[in-house]
């Protein structure tokens, strides 16, 4: 599982929406569009530079000695396909990196019942530390593989991606319960944590229900809780920590704009959660220097005291003046104007301290005069995918939503408000 855990809630939300938004409600001027494109291109270099040339496995962070993480490797697969499609890296290079990585995942990377271990040795693919076979991290690497397959139909990349997906025994990870477990270890077996409340797990649910080989029952979608909360007029189905990444990760791949879950539209929900997050941080601008101007974005990140699940109300609300630029950037499909202003603010005011060869570093805290020296792979990945969706007409969504497994999930759960035609 990710280092970001969500907890158990008892409230159930019935949230009515009145409209479905488009990703281009706000159009940036050419100069701002070029800044966003530069950030996306620079962010891509994290995956190009920090992936092993022999295995393709990608480092969890830019910190020296960092192992690879399976979730970051999933974002790398998506990044190569996107970069190759634009010519930012040669298409032949992108295809070669994809093939190397997928072959490693198929034949070399340690797994249990198809679920990859959270952290792997970058050179051998073996499990390291006491990391768990993770359900959410496996979903993220499978999603990246399936997206790459959509860019290279009829190739070995497509074949390997679908074989890796078909191998995952999603039903096993339920451990006889109504929920998907967060993970399993050889030492303790199933973890005592389950995906039982709103979080970033919707992508996991979609892949598990849509599986062609080991699907979980559609009732698994109905079982998890949808707690309701409000902050400053923003009503939200909220996650335990209130971290922005929980409202973003599933949306990198799944286009929720025209999906309805019993009156809940999760795209609109993420918009409201983002606005609540922004309002919450700005409400403390008189106390924390980091929250001044257009600086906002409370999400799990490194900080002066280590890695923490920073967030806003409704939810946990943990904060100490640490801002993660990726959080505002990755919300750009929900709040384009506000996110663009934040990106411009970070770039113009903190470029020297915060911007490097791979785009924005992970976080900063002006009150403690602390600036992250590292990048985190999963934060780089969500930044790249959300910028791609925003700048290029939802191309990631368009490709991912055509997958048969996604169509199956929508049909079985009754989420579709309209028919999304599968193209050849």
| Residue in the structure block whose two tokens are 């790398």 | 76
Would you place residue 25 in the very low, low, confident or very high pLDDT band (cuts 50, 70, 90)?
low
Three-class SS state of 340: helix
Q: Is the pLDDT of residue 96 over 90?
A: yes
Q: What string of DSSP letters covers 243-297?
A: -GGGGTTGGGT---TTB-BTTB-HHHHHHHHHHHHHHHHHTTTTT-GGGSTT---
* 371, containing H or E segment: strand 370-371
Please state the rounded mean pLDDT for residues 349-368: 97
Question: Would you state the pLDDT for residue 27?
Answer: 85
**Which domains are delineated in the chain?**
30-413 (1.50.10.140)
Would you place residue 23 in the very low, low, confident or very high pLDDT band (cuts 50, 70, 90)?
low
Per-residue tokens: 93: 């290079």
Please state the rounded mean pLDDT for residues 212-222: 98
Q: Is the pLDDT of residue 12 over 80?
A: no
Under 8 Å between Cβ of 198 and 225 = yes
Q: Is 307 exposed, middle or buried (0-12, 13-18, 19+ CB in 10 A)?
A: middle
pLDDT digits (tens, 9 = 90+) for 373-423: 999 999 999 999 999 999 999 999 999 999 999 999 999 999 986 434 333
Three-class SS state of 339: helix
CB count in 10 Å sphere of residue 373: 11
Per-residue tokens: 292: 């001044």
Under 8 Å between Cβ of 292 and 285 = yes
Query: Rounded distance, CA 380 to CA 34, Å?
Result: 18
The pTM for the full model equals 0.93
Query: Rounded distance, CA 137 to CA 145, Å?
Result: 12
Q: Is the pLDDT of residue 223 over 60?
A: yes
- Is the bond into 314 cis (omega within 30 degrees of 0)? yes
Query: Rounded distance, CA 100 to CA 82, Å?
Result: 17
Please state the rounded mean pLDDT for residues 142-171: 98
Question: Would you state the pLDDT for residue 7?
Answer: 35
Under 8 Å between Cβ of 376 and 66 = no
Query: Rounded distance, CA 117 to CA 417, Å?
Result: 36
Sign of CA dihedral 330, 77, 139, 417: positive
Q: Is the pLDDT of residue 11 over 90?
A: no
The angle that helices 91-107 and 135-151 make with each other, rounded to 10 degrees, is 140
Q: What angle do CA 353, 356, 361 make, to 5 degrees?
A: 70
Would you place residue 26 in the very low, low, confident or very high pLDDT band (cuts 50, 70, 90)?
confident
pLDDT digits (tens, 9 = 90+) for 266-312: 999 999 999 999 999 999 999 999 999 999 999 999 999 999 999 99
Strands 133-134 and 189-190: unpaired
């Amino acid at each position: 599982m990710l280092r970001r855990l969500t907890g158990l809630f008892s409230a159930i939300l019935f949230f009515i929406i009145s409209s479905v938004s488009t990703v281009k409600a706000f159009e940036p001027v050419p100069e701002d569009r070029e800044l966003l494109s530069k950030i996306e291109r620079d962010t891509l270099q994290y995956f190009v530079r920090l992936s092993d040339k022999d295995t393709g496995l990608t480092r969890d962070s830019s910190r020296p000695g960092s192992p690879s993480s399976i979730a970051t490797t999933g974002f790398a697969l998506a990044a190569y396909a996107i970069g190759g499609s634009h010519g930012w890296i040669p298409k032949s290079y992108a295809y070669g990196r994809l093939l190397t990585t997928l072959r490693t995942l198929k034949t070399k990377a340690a797994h249990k019942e198809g679920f990859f271990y959270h952290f792997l040795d970058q050179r051998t693919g073996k499990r390291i530390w006491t990391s768990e076979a993770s359900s959410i991290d496996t979903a993220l690497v499978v999603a990246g593989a399936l997206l790459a397959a959509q860019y290279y139909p009829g190739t070995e990349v497509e074949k390997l991606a679908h074989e890796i997906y078909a191998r995952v025994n999603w039903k096993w990870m339920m451990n006889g319960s109504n929920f998907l477990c967060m993970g399993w270890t050889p030492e303790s077996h199933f973890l005592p944590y389950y995906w039982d409340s709103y979080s970033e797990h919707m992508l996991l649910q979609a892949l598990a229900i849509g599986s062609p080989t080991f699907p979980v029952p559609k009732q698994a979608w109905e079982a998890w809780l949808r707690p309701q909360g409000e902050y400053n007029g923003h009503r939200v189905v909220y996650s335990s920590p209130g971290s922005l990444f929980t409202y973003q990760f599933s949306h990198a791949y799944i286009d929720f704009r025209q999906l309805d879950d019993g009156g809940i539209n999760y795209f609109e929900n993420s918009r409201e959660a983002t606005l609540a997050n922004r309002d919450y941080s700005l409400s403390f601008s008189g106390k924390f220097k980091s929250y001044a101007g257009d600086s906002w974005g409370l999400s799990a990140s490194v900080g002066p005291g280590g890695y923490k699940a920073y967030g806003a109300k409704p939810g946990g609300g943990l904060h100490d003046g640490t801002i993660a630029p990726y959080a505002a950037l990755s919300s750009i499909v929900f709040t384009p104007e506000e996110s663009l202003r934040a990106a411009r603010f970070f770039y113009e005011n903190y470029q020297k301290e915060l911007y490097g060869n791979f785009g924005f570093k992970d976080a900063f805290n002006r009150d403690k005069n602390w600036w992250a020296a590292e990048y985190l792979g999963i934060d780089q990945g969500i930044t790249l995918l959300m910028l791609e969706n925003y700048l290029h007409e939802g191309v990631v969504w368009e490709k991912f939503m055509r997958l048969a497994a996604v169509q199956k999930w929508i049909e079985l759960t009754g989420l579709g408000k309209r028919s999304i035609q599968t193209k050849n």
